[in-house]
Amino acid sequence: MENIIEVSNLSKKISSKFEMNNLSFNIKPGYVTGLIGSNGSGKTTLIKLIMGLYLKDSGNIKIFDKEFEKYETQIKQNIGYVPDSPSYIDKLSLKKNAELIKMFYPKWNDDKFNSYMEIFSLDETQDFVDLSKGMKMKYSLAIALSHEPDLLILDEPTAGIDPIFRREMLDMLYDFVSDNKKSVLFSTHITSDLDKIADYLILIDKGKIVLNGVKDELLAQFYVVKGDMSYFTEELKSKAISYTQNLQGFEALITKDRLSLTDKISYDKPVIEDLIYFFNKKSR
């Protein structure tokens, strides 16, 4: 299978002020793809379109080489989905919630579920409503992994989770894709997680894809340039994706092929947060 997800010309109007406009991208097996962007950029909307929680206006979505609309039930059995706000039956225990859920998944593995419950320090007798936000995320991840999916879709899975577990979860995701057959689509505001684990990036801004490709190749296209304001010429401004300036100096994101380096300015390789910040600033 060349691609686990294929999205082509996908559009969805949410309101008079926001729409997803003609999105196209592929997600390959064996990799972690980071879905990035500022608040309101469209990350969760895109995930809900992929999961069939929103109906598209136009375009096409294929998952596992199958048209999503025709094979939705079959496809969803093979997707582990962790939403940004996990929702189960509040007044049921974690064990009873799992007993209801597993009826929908032919590949459900009780041994895996019990193992994840122990790893995540979850008490199966506790009601879902009594969990903290972080524990709800852990439970949702345990559910998603226990039916042995080939695709994990994670929407802010590390929100409310302590740094130690975040690192452990990233190791789990490495293991998940290590057979080169499975994939992860990972949306998060904690870009340091994606700096560590992502292979590909999709940067969305105002419902449009502005960057899409191999993470290291995308980052290698830019410099974050800093210096005294006296060296921030109109020519240099015109080359910047966007910039900030204050009494201490300037900071700008500039593509390498447009920059002539001098000893008067400093330059560094950007991190993912820099791409989000400067491209969002450009659109504003």
262 and 146 co-located in one domain? no
Q: Compute, in degrees rounded to 10, the torsion defined by CA atoms 229, 230, 231, 234.
A: 80
Domain total for the chain? Answer: 2
pLDDT for the residue numbered 157:
85
Residues contacting residue 31 through CB under 8 Å, at least 6 positions apart:
177, 183, 184, 199, 200
Tokens found for residue 253: 């994101």
User: If the chain, 284 residues long, is cut into consecutive pieces of 10 residues, what is the mean pLDDT of each piece?
Assistant: 94 91 95 94 94 95 96 95 92 96 94 95 96 92 96 88 87 93 93 92 95 96 91 88 90 88 80 95 84
| Position 157 in a domain | yes
208 and 254 co-located in one domain? no
Residue with tokens 């447009």: 258
CATH number of the domain that residue 44 is part of: 3.40.50.300
Q: What is the DSSP string of 74-119?
A: HHHTTEEEE-SS----TTSBHHHHHHHHGGG-TT--HHHHHHHHHH
Smallest CA-to-CA distance from 185 within 60, 207, 177 is with: 177
| Position 140 in a domain | yes
Cα–Cα distance between 153 and 55 in angstroms, integer?
A: 18
73 and 206 co-located in one domain? yes
72 and 208 co-located in one domain? yes
Cα–Cα distance between 41 and 38 in angstroms, integer?
A: 5
114 and 234 co-located in one domain? no
Domain that holds residue 124: 5-216
127 and 248 co-located in one domain? no
236 and 119 co-located in one domain? no
pLDDT for the residue numbered 263:
60
